[in-house]
Amino acid sequence: MPSASILFSTYASISTSVMLFRSIVDQLIPHQLQTLLSSKLEYFFRPKSSELTLIIDSGDEYTENELYEAFLLYLGTKITPSVKRIRVKKVPKQNKLVLAIDSGQEIIDDFEHIKVKWNLIPQKRNEGYSAEDQQYFKLTFHKKERERVLNSYLTYVLNTAKTIEEQNKVLKLHTVHRGAWKEIILDHPATFDTLAMDHNLKKEIVEDLDRFVRRREFYKRVGKAWKRGYLLYGPPGTGKSTLVAAMANYLKFDIYDFELSMVNSNDDLRRYFLATANRSILMIEDIDCSTDLQIRDKDQDVRDFGNNKLTLSGLLNFIDGIWSSSGDERIIIFTTNHKDRLDQALLRPGRMDKHIHLSFCTTEGFNILALNYLGLHKNNKWYLEIENSIEKYQVTPAEVAEELMKSEDVDIALEGLLNFLKRKMIEPDEQAGRD
């Protein structure tokens, strides 16, 4: 074995040689070139990472990233004691809490012996985004598991999140406020059972909705956007808005209540429409009141606001043009009190696929309202008289409901309704006499 003096001498010789080499390099090779060579050598000699990372952000101002929302829901079920910060919220109408990880936290998951690591990373974004939106997910795993993660694990996460979402689903009513969609909880109790509507018409609507939601592959096969257009028309108070609420409750779809008066241009229209979610109802009420979009004078279908323009063709393009394919499983509903005032371009199939006429209260409608408001069946003298004559009075379901609400006493409520109906019959005759 070499002696200590020999080892020390050898080390000194090597050190001197390295220092001499460095001195030569510094003199002969420019500093910038040295830095470049150093980085290249470091790339070739440093250990190669065996990990692959996926980045999932929350989307942009026009569209949300469905993966991001699904991962938030899924990871809420994977929180362990090692997670130091947790977001907590209560689901309305339910006595349960929903958990979600906060930014900066990490979760380890195991799927079929695949180890994955989730991190929620804070991110600076443009003004106008909430703090919750300013973050993204980083999913890290071994490179060899790439195909299994992309094809199996992420599918499993999405399906699990969908199940959780359905369990926690709270319907929302979205309205435009200060240039953006704002939401509140939709707590409307309307159902098809409580609608004061002809039984056959309700059955027809329910069957049409069921057929629509189960035909994803059909729409794809025939090359049509997966959407359905309805026109609800009839006098005020006949239940058009209530029917929309019943449809939303039946399908578990959010409602986007859209007022064309809030729109100044086709660009605005595009921005609002693209921000609506899948599995939703877009409702445009009282389309007949937007007179400038109804009857076109030759080529004049334009409403001017300075340099901005909202056109009928722009609206039609979102109903059945190329932009209508920007989302899936959507229902578009127009309501009107005067169908005859609408431009025929709005009414053709493919735009408004199904026209539903809601008219005055029928005998069947009165039976439903009496049961809803009074818990009453056919066991009252006033009831039988009203039932046998109500269709000749041309009274709306809203008017009947208002009269039934005036007293908790069945006899008083029904007698009041009968008197109201008789007054309705007399008023037109008196008016005709004055004319």
Winning range, highest mean pLDDT, from 8-17, 337-346, 421-430: 337-346
Residues 63 and 150 placed together within one structural domain of the fold:
yes
Residues 116 and 221 placed together within one structural domain of the fold:
no
User: What mean pLDDT is predicted for residues 129-158?
Assistant: 83
pLDDT exceeds 60 at position 53: yes
Query: β-strand 135-142 against 114-122: which pairing, if any?
Result: antiparallel
pLDDT exceeds 70 at position 30: no
pLDDT exceeds 90 at position 58: no
| pLDDT score, position 238 | 92
| pLDDT score, position 51 | 86
User: What mean pLDDT is predicted for residues 314-342?
Assistant: 80
**What is the domain range of residue 400?**
363-434
pLDDT exceeds 80 at position 21: no
Residues 272 and 218 placed together within one structural domain of the fold:
yes
In a domain, 181, yes or no: yes
pLDDT tens digits, one per residue of 73-125 = 898 889 888 888 888 887 776 667 778 888 888 999 999 989 999 998 887 65
* Residue 250 confidence class, pLDDT cut points 50, 70, 90: very high
Residues 284 and 428 placed together within one structural domain of the fold:
no
| CATH code of the domain covering residue 346 | 3.40.50.300
Task: Determine the 3-state secondary structure of 283 from DSSP.
Answer: strand
| pLDDT score, position 348 | 79
In a domain, 3, yes or no: no
Which residue in this structure is represented by tokens 């009453």?
Answer: 376
pLDDT exceeds 60 at position 234: yes
Please state at what angle helix 199-213 crosses helix 240-251, rounded to 10 degrees: 40
Domain boundary among 169, 185, 202: 169
11-48 burial, b at 16+ Cβ within 10 Å, e below that, comes to eeeeeeeeeeeeeeeeeeeeeeeeeeeeeeeeeeeeee
In a domain, 43, yes or no: no
Domain boundary among 141, 169, 197: 169
In a domain, 11, yes or no: no
Residues 370 and 353 placed together within one structural domain of the fold:
no
- CA 82 to chain CA mean position, Å: 34
Residues 70 and 125 placed together within one structural domain of the fold:
yes
* Residue 192 confidence class, pLDDT cut points 50, 70, 90: very high
Residues 202 and 307 placed together within one structural domain of the fold:
yes
Are 59 and 145 contacting, i.e. CB atoms less than 8 angstroms apart? no
| pLDDT score, position 57 | 86
Residues 350 and 367 placed together within one structural domain of the fold:
no
pLDDT exceeds 60 at position 138: yes
* Residue 130 confidence class, pLDDT cut points 50, 70, 90: very low
| pLDDT score, position 108 | 92
Structural domains in the chain (count): 3
Domain boundary among 357, 384, 402: 357
Mean pLDDT, the chain, integer: 80
In a domain, 237, yes or no: yes
| pLDDT score, position 2 | 58
Residues 252 and 137 placed together within one structural domain of the fold:
no
Task: Give the range among 22-36, 225-239, 296-310, 322-336 with minimum mean pLDDT.
Answer: 296-310
pLDDT exceeds 80 at position 7: no
Residues 284 and 350 placed together within one structural domain of the fold:
yes
* Residue 207 confidence class, pLDDT cut points 50, 70, 90: very high
Structure tokens of 370?
Answer: 């009496």
* Residue 332 confidence class, pLDDT cut points 50, 70, 90: very high
pLDDT exceeds 70 at position 300: no
In a domain, 7, yes or no: no
Number of H helices, E strands in the chain: 15, 15
Q: What predicted TM-score, i.e. pTM, was given to this entire model?
A: 0.69
Residues 78 and 227 placed together within one structural domain of the fold:
no
DSSP assigned state of 192: T
In a domain, 91, yes or no: yes
Query: β-strand 330-336 against 227-233: which pairing, if any?
Result: parallel
Task: Determine the 3-state secondary structure of 184 from DSSP.
Answer: strand
DSSP assigned state of 76: T
Contacts of 78 (CB under 8 A, 6+ apart): 107, 109, 118
| pLDDT score, position 193 | 93
* Residue 131 confidence class, pLDDT cut points 50, 70, 90: very low
Provide the percentage of residues in the chain whose pLDDT is more than 90: 34
Residues 231 and 198 placed together within one structural domain of the fold:
yes
CA–CA separation, 51 and 82 (whole Å): 23
Query: Dihedral of CA 168/136/254/211: which sign?
Result: negative
In a domain, 21, yes or no: no
SS3 per residue for 86-127: EEEEECCCCCCEEEEECCCCEEEEEECCEEEEEEEEECCCCC
Q: Cα dihedral angle (300, 305, 306, 312), rounded to 10 degrees?
A: -30
Contacts of 388 (CB under 8 A, 6+ apart): 363
More confident residue, 140 or 298: 140
| pLDDT score, position 399 | 93
Amino acid, single-letter form, for residue 300: Q
